Every structure is written in structure tokens, then in C-alpha cells.
Structure 1
Amino acid sequence: MGRFQNKSSQMAKERRNVIKVNPYELPEKALAIIANICSAQNMDDTSLIYGLMKHELAKPNKDGDSFDAFTEKKRKDFFNIDFLDDFKWQVYVELADELRAHENTSDTQVVVAGGYSAGKSSFLNRITGADNLLPTGIEPVSMVSTYLYCSKNTNEIVVKGVNLRNAIVLLDKDILQSIQHESKSKIYLASVLNKLFVELPSENLDGFVFIDTPGYNNSDKKNASNGVTDEDTARKALSSGNVLIWVVDAGAGTVPAKDRKMIDYFFEQNENGKVVVLFNKADKKGIAETQRIVDATFKEFASYGDKVIDVLGYSSSENKIYYSARQYDMSRLLFEMKKCGNGNSGVQKILSDIEQMFEDEIEFYKEVVESYKEDRKTRIKQREEFASFLDGEKRGTSNYLEVLSDLLITSYNEVLNAARKLGDSSKKALDCWCNFHNGVMDFENNDHWGTSKILNRAIEQSSRNYDQCVNQHNRAIEYQYYDEDFRKEWFKRIKDQLDRIDSNLQHDYDETVNESKEINAEIQKYESLANAMYNYECIVIDSLKNGIRQYQACAHKVQDVRIQTDNLNIFAAISKGNYAEFTACFANGVKLNEYTSDGYSPVTWAVKEGANDMVVFFMDHEADMFALDQRGYNAFHTAVENGYKDICQLLLDREPELAKTLTANGEDYRSLANKSNFAEWLNQII
């Protein structure tokens, strides 16, 4: 019987003699780390970024206005009337948020994405050389975007996280294996983390950041831990990459239509982005079938042109490229990926957007100035033409008035004077003739009546002629004429009308002159605006860049929230009955063949101390319960020796064969029980 018992014990020795447990699968440890993560406060103070800028912008300009007052006063002249509001939003909201986002980098950002169970994490573990760093397996894993920063200047793997308060916390590597959809602890670490950053030492991958994403098509439901679907998480990551490695299970034989839509979405978000299509698990297809799949897919993706870096078949299990459409090896593939860009810095983009806001205004002002200058050229030409016309009109008016004055006044008076002189001379002649006639008549009537018939006839004829002459004279002087005052009045009226015409023409000319002055004033105004905005742009951008440098130099301080497991002693933890400390010991691995000075192993010491929960822990983790300690006792022997009915029952329920085992001295449970008067109870249950 002893030989049988020893054989059974020998079989048992093939069980685990070292237990290493991810501590965060244990509820106690998970809750403890969650508490630490949540308690970390965001130490970032973005206000220092804006201090210098605000100081400079508060200074009064030549009009005594600050930047805020200037932009508000000139708002109606701006290309964007909401410039000030948009500027403040970009600076105090968008830039501040982006700075707090932490993942900005000048390295090449590679998003590794694909469908559920395509092997993304296995691929990353392989190419980074960090085997088992990221969780793999059939269970859906990380729901938190994980950034793998590869650098030749990093000496060890460092894991950091960003909590819900945007604080950066230092974490254990083990935490990566615990951020899963189905956590054994039923406590979701993903619920308190927004992002994960992993710093990896790597010479070959120096300058790369790999962004791990969950399978986008795992489920349409939002995750209970963070209220976000896996597709939402994947899409968000796609927008930040220079390169997309789209991983497909080679078993699919092609890129599914839904995957193509996700790839198209990547290109929508990244105009200059490029893609690598990687068929994983190519070892299951073989070289010939892998080549057929790759070549067919490469033809299908021909429409993407040079946006496709390569299509290849790869085996994560063998870390081997089975076939590449472009005949690339891994080194050449990485080289081509590295050429696709240096990061996707949101901070730089926002700075560029702010610069563009100022540039848009300045460009608008320049366009307005150019428009006014062209208008001014036209106006100057019109003014010159108008001036020439006005000068001619004025000279013409002056000439018209001279002629009119000559016609209506000077020459008309001369004509009237001549007519009057003619009338006067005619009258004088007639008067002379009349005197002569009257003399003749007097002579005839008074002294010489009837002297001669001939004379009488002559007198009669002359009288008739005189009457005719008088009648002709009277008719001759009865003509229409205007007196001088009347003619001067009309000359004045005509002159006033011509003066009004000239005045209107002069007014129109003066208007063109004033318009030119207004145009010049507008040109000066917009040139002044352009200069002011250029100066403000220099102040803003220089101040922000300086502030960002200072901020990044002191911000993002990492807070160590790890639960310290160094110097933990498994035996001390058992003796104290501290289950949390006990489980923490297994994070670094516990050797079950280490002993106390009295010869107890960790298992037998837990039994000896009556720590039922710890004994159960050992059994749950497949500890070798048959193994003898240095005293020659196994767990069951120790329980019997100490008279622990409950522990004996626990052990025998799991391992009935323990009842058949012997101590190193050949004692069975009965001998041990007799020593402690425990035999009667044992005989009842065995």
C-alpha cells in the first residue's frame, strides 16, 4: 500500500510548484488599484500656457485698446465677425483639451485594427518582442485604447494610464492582462481608465507608436464598464494614425466588406494615411494558399493606389512573413511605414488652426486693400477725365458769357445808339425841312399870296412829300427793342444758370475727390488691420509655443498608484491572516518549495495557521497538495496534525487520494490523528 501511495504522491508532484497570479484578477487587489487610480488628481495646470500671452494681449495699442477691446471694436470689419469667440474656444478649450490628452507624439503612429479574434494583440506581442504583454485568447480583450511607445532609449517596460480625471498614473504590467470584457474578478478596470501608454525598449521599432484597438465587430452593445462600443473605440483610434495595419484572420480568405468600410473611414480621417493589410495566422493556410489570398487582395485594393503599402501573409505564432505582395521583409515594411509621417499631433494642428484664423483675416484685409486700390485707379482715371471735362466746361461757359454779354448788352446798346442817332439826324433833317416849308408858307401866306401858280404847285408837292417823309420816319422808329436793365436782368439769369451747371459739375468732381479720399482711408484702415493682426498673431503663437514648452516640461507628472509587492513575505502574510497581502505575493510568483526555519512550505504553513481561504486559493491555483515539506508532511498531514476538521474536509473533497499518502517517516493519517486524538473523526469521514 505504501508503494501505491508514493506513486500517487509522485503523480501529484507534477502539479504546479510555482504559482504566479495576475493580482488584478482578485477582487481585493482590483478594488485596491481602482481606488488608487481614482484618487489620482490631475496635476496639469494649463493656465501657465496662457499667462504670457494674456499679459501681452492686455497691453493697449496706439488707440489704447487691449486685444479683446480691439477685436470687439473692429468686429464689423473682420472676415469672421465671431473671430474673438472662435479664437478663445481654440485656445482655452480645444488646445487645453488636446494638451491634456497626453498621447501627442512626433513618432510614426500605427493603428493596429481589425475584426474580433483576428490576432491583433498576438501580432503586436510578436513584433515588439514583448511576449504575453498584451492579453490574447478567445475572450475579447482590451476596451481601452493602448499606445505602445517603442524607443531605443527606454530600458524597461513601463505602463502608464490616464484616469477619468485626466491624471497620468504609473501601473504594473500585470494590469494589461486584466482590462478585459470578462474579468475574473468581475471588477472592470476599464471603467476607470481612458487610455493606456506602454513604453517599450526596442532598437528596431524606435520612433514607432502602435495603437492597439479592440475588435470593432465584437458587439453592437455598449460595454458595461465604460458605456462605449468597441467599434466606437476603434473608430476613435483610426483618426489618429499615420498608418493603419488592418489585421484579418487568414481563414477568412479575403477582406470582408465591413472591414473595407472601416479602412475607407480611416482614409476619410487621414487624407495622407496609408494601409498595410496583414493576413494573420498564415501558418494555417500554408505558403501557396497564402500567396493566392494576398495576390487576390492586392488586386482588389488596386483602386487605393499608393495608399497601400503592402498586403502580406503573416504568422504570429512563428513571427514570420509567409508572403508579401511587394516582396517586403519586416525591415523593409517598417522602413516604408516610417516614411508615412511623424505623428498626428493635435496640438500642432490646433496651433496651425489658430495661425490660419489670423492668416484668413490678414488675407481678407489684403484682398480688400487690393480691391480698393483697383477701385482707386478707376476713380483717379474718372477724376482726371472729369477734371478735364470740367475745365473745358468752365472755359466754355466763360466764353459763352463773353459772347452773350457782347450780344445782349454791349453790341445791342451800340445798335440802339446808332438807331437813335439815325432817328435824331432824320428828325433834324425833317425839322430843317419843316422850317423851310414853314418859311415858304409864311412867305406865301403873308406877303406874296398868289405870286405864281408854279410856286403854289411846288409848295403843295413839297407839303405832300414832307407828310410822307414824316410818316415814314414815324413808322421807322416804331420797332421792338429791350431796355438795358431788362437785358442785364436776363444776362444775370443766364449767367446764374450756367454757374449752377458749373457748380453741379464741380460738386460731382468734388465727389470723386472725396470718394478717392474715402478709398484711401479704407485702404489705410485695412492695411492697419492687417499689420495689427500680424503683430497679434506673432504674439499669440510665440507665447503659446513658449507656454506649451514650459507646460510639457513640467506637466503630465506621473503618479505611482501601484500596490507595492516588493519585500512581501508569503509566510508573514499567512501568519497575519492578511489575504490582500497574501494574494499580492503571487504577483511576483511564489515558489512552493521554499520553507520556514521549521520546515513548513507555504501550503503547509497556510494549513498550520488555519487559513482556510488561503488553502482554497492554493487548491484553486493547482498547488501540489501532495508535496511534502521539509518536515516530511503534506497539507493533509498538517491539517490532521493540527486537528483542523474543516481543512481536512476541504482537502479530501478536492483530493480524496490524500488520505492514502504517508509522511516521510511512513506515518499515515491514523498515526498522526492518534497523536492529537483526532482519529475518531477522521475514521468517520474516510
Structure 2
Amino acid sequence: MGLDAIKRKGAAMGKQTAQIIKVNKYENPQMALNLISHICTASTDLELTPCFQPVYDLLNKQMKPDLDNYDLLNSDLIDDCFWKVIALEDELVSTMSSSLKIAVAGGYSAGKSSLLNYLTGIGDLLPTGVEPVSVVNTYLNCVFSPNKRLVIRGENLKDELVLLNDEVLACIQHSSKSKTYIANVLKKIVIDVSVRDKYLDGITFVDTPGYNNAVGQNESDREKAIEAMEKCDAIFWCIDVESGTITKNDLEMLKKVQDKPIVILYTKMDKKDVGAVRKIIQDTEKLCAKEFNKDKFPLAILSFSCVTRQLYATFNTTFSQIIQAVKTKSGSTMSLLSRYSGEIERLLMDEINASNEMIKDYEAKRLELVNDKQEWRKYYQDKKDENSASKGAVEEVILSNYNEIMGCADKRMDYFQKALEGWGEALDREAEWADKVGFFSDASDLSRRYSSAIDKFNKLCNSQANYQYYDEEFRTELYNEICTLYDDSLDKYKDVLKEFEDVYQTSIEGRKKEEELVKLLGKYRFQLVATLKDSYNRAVKAVKQHQEELQQIEREQDMNIFSAISGDDYGRFLSCFSQGVDLSVCNNGGFSPLTWAVRSGNNEMVKFFITHDADLSMKDKRGYNALETAAMCHYQDICEMLIEADRSLVYESQPLVKLAGMNTFTKWIAQYQ
């Protein structure tokens, strides 16, 4: 079958062609895989740890050694403070210095992204497709600085922030096209947004994943949404106005975070008339009145249209007033520094308050022991005096008086002996006298009495020899044993008194130690907060400088489609289509992007144009289309590819056989023969 027999098809049969092609490069699987590799291996381009190093040194090198000598209410005090500083550092990297985080949540196609695109003025940056695909939490840091560009970063599975471009957001929404799910390697996306409204300055909006209300559907997205809401200060709960009033599942989700300010916002208000919207809001108010306590009732229930920019509520309000009310109710008007320094101060104040309570307890115990200690000391002294008197009496009986009695007995015998001897001498003299003068009439009677006295004295001496008594050494030992018993009986009272003394002393020492701890904690409380403030200010400067540097980064160094084709760089070729490529624009040689791809013999690039519905019949400035160019270059495979895509090209082109004979290379080389 000749070429003339090929039937015409294509534009004549209603085929739609494109003159300008705009494509997300990450729809290409290889480009998406390259992006995944970049995300997984890259490291955070901003390091704030050196800024906070003085705080870490204060905690680890000074406070920890000093406080190790004391018993703290919270034994993990230093670690808790340490992690607070790390959290501050991480949040500063992620959210700059935002003072209020608002989670924008709701089901699939609830209009969350459209609302944020409108509020922040970022156009259609956040994907607004209705397909229920898994996404990641997206943090939008709002800064009132209209002249700055967007900066987009993603947190990978290593908690590292990686610089990304805006195409990544659309890629995540439509990842099914490339079959490479980039969302699986990202924990969150952080976008620094320059806002036009002053009231948004310092606010971070969190675009949470949508989820299916059906139980068991996309539980991972549901859990991500709940986790994000729990970490935020307030909630904007979005509901498609066409779905009617709030559902039971919506209410159950809101109850999980009812301790935070909640704003219920019906989106796509332009789809309903004002009367229907009013009824939906009123019905929602009635349902919420049944489900929530008065102090937990939503801060506002309203409806909004991103198309008409119309806001409706049962009371006159603006987004600016709503944001201010959220700030007031959440108490999140304080800065990031104030919040974390306040948390650290509370940790230290808890310890100080606990120590002050211990001081009171020790003092109360000491006062209680004062009287008891004095009573026991008096009782002990009385017992001691009583024992001393008893020991004195025993000593007098066993030692002193006993010796005196024994001495008296010995003296009595001496006196008897002397008396007897004296009496004997007297009798002897009387007997001599009687013999001489004969005075006594009966001298024999006197002699008899004398003999009787001697007998009695001898009996007395004999009876003295059998008398039972204890020597002094034995009595001394006995006395010492008795004294020991008295001392032992006193020791139990002494031990009780010592216990009182020890407890009393412990109370004094415990109070003294707690007072030292209070003084130490008070010193470190001010020192730590001051050091944290200095470190934070240095970190803020580093963040601002980093932001300025990121603003200077050119996202694409070379967006020239012809250069990409000439360099056979398919990645850069795809990047050119991120901003759109006009197929009618030609290079200096008169080639269009399509005919230049054909002229370069790049089958993959030509196939790209075909699959994206490029107008294959469009002539370049040379006057040739893609098929004509392929024929002239003798590219059979490209010719077949083009004809298969649109056989009508054969009829819309010059005779291909003639074009194939126009071998410019043969003419050019002939000049050298």
C-alpha cells in the first residue's frame, strides 16, 4: 500500500492539539525517582545547634553536675529542659518564629487547599484536585513581606529539611501518574510564604491530609490529620457546603481536639444560595450546642467562597477578626521563645515549689520535735540522776560502810584484848597484895572468876574466827556489775533521746539542703532563660540570613528548550515544561522545539511531544513540519512514529520522497571532492 492510500485522520477527525505544553516533570517516573533519591539522601541546609550550644553547655556542664547532689522532684529535669531546647530549635527551623499554628482540616475535597491558597495569596500552589490520594501535612509559614518569593522545603524520614520546588506539591497530588509515591518519603512540607495581609504575619497554617469519613478508609491519612491538629493551637474545620450540615464523624474528630479554639468553615459557598447557607449554619449551631459544653463551643461557624470572596456568618466578621479571636482564646499570642522559655521556667519552678514545700515540712517537723526532745532530755536526765544516786547508795553499803563495819569489829576485839590484859594485870596486882597483907577473904573466888573471864574471851575469839564476810575485791566487782546494770537500763532512754536528736538534726540539715537547692535553682532559672534568649536571637538571625540566601537561589539555571534538546538532557528538557513551552517559538535556525527534537534525532523527546498532543502539522520558520524534517534527515523510526500518531501528516506534508532526496549532507560533503 503506497503512501497515497493512507487515510487522513487527526485534526480533521476532531483531534485536539496543543500549541503550548505545560507539564510537571515529576510525572516522568525517572525524574520522580531522582527526586526521591534527593529527598532521602539530602541533609538540612540550616544548622542552628551552634546557636543553642551555650544553652546545652549550661545544662550539661554546669546544671547537671550541681543538681546531681540533690534529690529532685523530677529526676529527668535536665533531660526535659534539654529536649525543650531541641524542640524549640527544630520548630524554629521548620516554622521560623510563628506564634500561632492553625490546622486546616476536613474530609476529601473540603476546600482546605483552596482556602489556604486564597488566604495566603499563593495562587494555585497547593493542589486542589478532588482525587483522594495520600498527601503529607503542609506547613505554611506566613511572613508579612510582599517582595519575597516562596521557599519550599520537605522533611524527609531522617527529619532533615530538603529544599524543593513548587512542582513537588502537584507531583504529590498526582503521584499515581508516575507510579512513584513521593509522599511516602516525606513527613511534612514547609513553605515560607510572603503574605499581603499584616494580620497573618507570624502564623503557620497546617494543611492536613483529607480523609474519607467512612470508617476504616485511609486510616493513615486520618491519623496524620489528628496528629497535626493535636500539635496545633487552633482548628479551622472545613466542610463542603454541598454536603449539607456537619456529620457525626466530623463532630467525633472535633471532640478529640475540643480543648482548642475551633472554627467551622463551610467552603464553596457560591454553590448554594444565602438562605440555604444560613440554614446549614443554624443547623450546625444546634448540633454543636448538643455535642459541646458551653466553654467548648466552636469559636465561629461561617461559610466562604474562594470564587466570590464572600464570607457569611450569623454575625458580622472578617478573617482578620477571626484570627485575632483565635489568638486571644488560644493564648498563643506569645512568641516561640516566650512559649518555650515559659515551659522551661515552669519545670524549674515546679522544683522550686516542691523544695519550698519540703522546707515547710522540715520546719514543721523540727518544731514538733523541739518539745518532745526537751521532754525526753529531762526524763533521761532524771533517770541518769536517779541511777547515779542509786549507785552511790550501793557503793556506800557494799564498799564504804562495809569496810567501816569490818574496821569496827577489828577494833572491838583489840579493845577486848586490851581490857582483858589490863584487867589481868589488875588482878595480878590484887593477888600479890592479898598474899602480902591478906586483904581478900577469899582469894580463890577471884581466881576462879578470872579463869572464867579468860574462857569467855577465848570463846569470843574462836567465834570471831568463824564469822562470814566478803573481801573488798569481790565487793568492788559486785559494785561494778550493779553499776553496769544501771547504765544498761539508762541506755535505752539514751537511744530514744538520740533518735530524737538525729531526726531533729536531719530536719535541720534537710531544710538547709532544700534552701540551698532553691537558691541554686533560682540562680539557674534566670541564667538559663537569659542564655536561651541570647541563643534564640542568634538563631533567628541565622534563619533570616538563610531565608535571604534561599531567595537568591535560581530554581532553574537554564530553561532554554533548544539547549536542553541539543544537550540530549531529558531531565532539563522536562524542566522546561514546568513553566510551559510555546511550540511556535523558533530558534535562530528556524526550528520549532518539535522540529528541533526531530532534527536532533531524539526519539524520546519526539515521543513526549506526541503523547502530550503537540500539533504535529505545525510548520516552523523554515516552512517544514515534524514529518517533513524527519524525512529530510532520513529518520525512518521517527517518521513511523509520527505517521502512526497522525496519518494525516502525509497529506499535510510535502512529498516525502522528494524531501528524502534533499540530502543536504551529500551536497555539503561534495564540496570537498
Query: Do they superpose with TM above 0.5?
Result: yes
In structure 2, distance between residues paired with 1:318 and 1:293: 19
Q: CA deviation at 1:187?
A: 2.1
Tell me the residue number matched to 2:520: 532
Cα 1:94–1:522, aligned 2, differ >3 Å: closer, same or farther? closer
Give me the whole-angstrom Cα distance separating, in 1, the residues matched to 2:614 and 2:487. Answer: 122
> Would you say how many aligned residue pairs link Structure 1 and Structure 2?
571
Deviates most, 203-212 or 548-557? 548-557
Deviation at 1:247, TM superposition (A): 0.8
The 3 A distance-change label for structure 1 pair 594 and 58 is: closer
Tell me the secondary structure at the aligned position of residue 155 of structure 2: strand
State the match for 1:79 in structure 2: 73
| Counterpart for residue 464 of structure 1 | none
The RMSD of aligned alpha carbons is 4.7
Q: Secondary structure at the match of 2:152?
A: strand
Q: Relative to structure 1, is the Cα distance of residues 390 and 596 closer, same or farther in structure 2, using a 3 angstrom cutoff?
A: closer
Q: Is the 8 A contact 1:140 1:214 kept in 2?
A: no
Answering whether residue 562 of structure 2 is matched by residue 571 of structure 1, we say yes
Q: Which SS does the other structure have where 2:176 is aligned?
A: coil
Contact 2:39 2:185 in 1 (8 A): yes
- Matched with 1:468 is none
**Match of 2:203, as an amino acid?**
F
1:23-38 to 2 correspondence within 5 Å? 23-38=25-40
Please tell me the residue identity of whatever aligns with 2:305.
Answer: S
| CA distance, structure 2, for counterparts of residue 334 and residue 529 of structure 1 | 43
SS at 1:676 equivalent? helix
In 1, the alpha carbon distance for the partners of 2:646 and 2:90 equals: 55
From 288, 291, 312, give the equivalent of 2:278. Answer: 291
Amino acid at match of 1:330: F
| Structure 2: distance between partners of 1:381 and 1:657 | 116
Q: Which of 650, 654, 658 does residue 674 from structure 1 map onto?
A: 658
Check if 1:642 corresponds to 2:633: yes
| 1:29 CA displacement | 2.7
Equivalent of residue 357 in structure 2, options 359, 362, 367 = 367
Counterparts in 2 of 1:96 and 1:394: CA distance versus 1, 3 Å? closer
Deviations 1:335-356 (A, max 9, x none): 3234344379888666555444
Distance 1:607 1:393 in 2: 120
1:318 aligns with 2:311: no
Counterpart contact for 2:285–2:301, Cα < 8 Å = yes
Matching residue within 242, 245, 258 for 1:251: 242
Q: Note the alpha carbon deviations across 1:389-441, whole angstroms, 9 max, x for none.
A: 999999999999xxxxxxxxxxxxxxxxxxxxxxxxxxxxxxxxxxxxxxxxx
State how far apart, in whole Å, the 1-side matches of 2:570 and 2:537 are: 47
Q: Which residue of 2 aligns with 1:40?
A: 42
Q: For residue 229 of structure 1, give the secondary structure of its aligned residue in structure 2.
A: helix
Say whether the 8 Å CA contact 2:10–2:646 is kept in structure 1.
no
Which moved further from structure 2: 89-98 or 499-508? 499-508
- The CA deviation at 1:285 is 2.5
Aligned pair partner of 2:80 in 84, 90, 115: 90
Q: Flag the 1:589–1:660 CA change in 2: closer, same or farther, 3 A.
A: same
Q: 1:93 to 1:334 in 2, by over 3 A?
A: closer
Matched residue of 2:517: which SS? helix
What is the CA-CA distance between 1:160 and the residue it aligns to? Answer: 1.9
CA contact (8 A) 1:278 1:314 kept: yes
2:572 counterpart of 1:581: yes
- 1:135 is the counterpart of 2:127: yes
Of 201, 224, 242, the match for 1:206: 201
1:330 aligns with 2:319: yes
Partner SS state of residue 231, structure 2: coil
Residue 590 of structure 2 aligns to a residue in which SS? coil
1:211-263 CA deviation, whole Å, 9 max, x = no partner? 1011133788898xxxx911122122111222211111222212222221211
For residue 150 of structure 1, report the CA deviation from its aligned partner.
1.7
Paired residue for 1:282? 269
State how far apart, in whole Å, the 1-side matches of 2:94 and 2:343 are: 19
CA contact (8 A) 2:175 2:182 kept: no
Q: Which residue of 2 aligns with 1:520?
A: 508
Q: Look up the equivalent residue of 1:580 and give its one-letter code.
A: G
Rounded Cα–Cα distance in structure 1 between residues aligned with 2:539 and 2:571: 39
CA contact (8 A) 2:208 2:224 kept: yes
Aligned positions of 1:486-497 closer than 5 A: none
Shift of 1:532: 3.1
Secondary structure of 1:183's match? helix
Contact 1:110 1:242 in 2 (8 A): yes
Gaps of 5+ in 2: 1-6, 391-482, 663-673
> Judging changes above 3 Å, is the alpha-carbon distance between structure 1 residues 14 and 396 closer, same or farther for their aligned structure 2 residues?
closer
CA contact (8 A) 2:121 2:196 kept: no
Measure, in 2, the Cα distance between the counterparts of 1:349 and 1:615. Answer: 57
Whether the aligned pair in 2 keeps the contact of 1:108 and 1:341 (CA below 8 Å) is no
Aligned to 1:427: none
- Relative distance call for 1:139 and 1:9 in structure 2 (3 A) is closer
Task: Determine the C-alpha separation between the residues in 1 that align with 2:593 and 2:317.
Answer: 53
Alignment-derived partner of residue 20 in structure 1 = 22
Asked if structure 2 preserves the Cα contact closer than 8 Å seen for 1:151 and 1:206, the reply is yes
Q: Is the Cα–Cα contact under 8 Å of residues 302 and 314 in structure 2 kept in the other structure?
A: yes
Question: For the residues of structure 1 that align with 2:659 and 2:358, how far apart are their CA atoms?
Answer: 107
1:94 and 1:377 map into 2 onto residues whose CA distance is: 41
Distance apart, 1:276 and its partner CA: 0.9
State the match for 1:150 in structure 2: 142
Residue 35 and residue 184 in structure 1: after superposition, are their counterparts in 2 closer, same or farther (change >3 A)? same
Instruction: State how 1:286-685 maps to structure 2 within 5 Å.
Output: 286-302=273-289, 303-307=292-296, 308-321=298-311, 323-339=312-328, 340-342=330-332, 352-382=342-372, 516-551=504-539, 553-554=541-542, 565-661=556-652, 668-670=653-655, 672-677=656-661
Instruction: Give the match for residue 54 of structure 1.
Output: 57
Report the counterpart of residue 411 of structure 2 in structure 1: none
Normalised to the residue count of structure 2, the TM-score between the two structures is 0.71
Is the 8 Å Cα contact of residues 218 and 230 (structure 1) preserved in structure 2? no
Q: Show structure 1 runs of 5+ residues with no match.
A: 60-65, 401-494, 662-667, 679-686
Matched, 1:160 2:153: yes
* Deviation, structure 1 residue 17: 1.9
Asked if the contact 1:150/1:207 (under 8 Å) is kept, the reply is yes
Deviation at 1:95, TM superposition (A): 4.0
| Contact residue 12 and residue 624 of structure 1 kept, 8 A | no
Paired residues of 1:215 and 1:231 also in contact (CA < 8 A): yes
| Matched position secondary structure for 1:137 | coil
Aligned to 1:486: none
1:658 shift after superposition: 2.3
What letter is aligned with 2:29?
P
Aligned residue in 2 for 1:118: 110
Q: Name the amino acid aligned to 2:658.
A: N
| Structure 1, 289-298 or 538-547: larger mean CA deviation | 538-547
The offset of 1:580, in angstroms, is 1.9
Q: Secondary structure at the match of 2:509?
A: helix
TM-score, with structure 1 as normaliser: 0.70
- SS of 1:198's equivalent? strand
Residue 306 of structure 1: how far off its partner (Å): 5.0
1:355 and 1:541 in contact (8 A); partners too: yes
Query: Could you say which residue in structure 2 is the equivalent of 1:451?
Result: none
Question: Does the Cα contact within 8 Å between 1:368 and 1:526 map onto a contact in 2?
Answer: yes
- Whole-angstrom CA distance in 1 between matches of 2:643 and 2:559: 30
- Post-superposition Cα deviations, 1:101-132, rounded to whole Å, max 9, x if no partner, equal 53354332111001112121122122222221
Q: Is the 8 A contact 2:59 2:82 kept in 1?
A: no
Distance 1:187 1:347, change over 3 A: farther
> Kindly tell me: are residues 527 and 660 of structure 1, through their superposed partners in 2, closer, same or farther at Cα, counting changes over 3 Å?
same
1:381 CA drift (Å): 4.2
Assess, with a 3 A threshold, how the Cα gap between structure 1 residues 17 and 562 changes in structure 2: closer, same or farther.
farther
Which amino acid counterpart does residue 178 of structure 2 have in structure 1? S
